[in-house]
Structure 1
């Protein structure tokens, strides 16, 4: 019974570790996408959208450095959604 409990605990730790790594990877991937968007944002969108994307990226990096991966993902997904909306003609200067 003791070994069974240790096995279950070990599996739980492994699952949490995998989820944590996946979240960090998503944060990194989203930051990379934002970097790519920002390369051409000034030419494609207004100053408001470009400024918003730059500021949001900065906040996402700060959250990542503070270890708040969920906040990083939230910031980056919000910015990428706004970019997609602006690029589809939905207006990016909200």
Structure 2
């Protein structure tokens, strides 16, 4: 394997570890994006209080505000949206 393929395989392996961890925590994975510079996993808002994140953006919608939360896990960025009905959580994965 060349250097690019080796680096890509490492990113895929880290994403696999992160997804396994999230599934064990009861999170629903809705998307996965593996790029040259980053790996992003999108999930539904976690029910388990052990999965926590940092507020990275607030978007105003017609129904209120939507909070984008994120955390890092095995070198991957894990993101989810919180609406007004869901309590905000603090960082700790």
TM-score if structure 1 supplies the norm length?
0.39
- Kindly indicate whether structure 1 or structure 2 has the higher relative contact order, using CA contacts under 8 Å at least 6 residues apart: 1
The structure that is helix-richer by fraction is 1
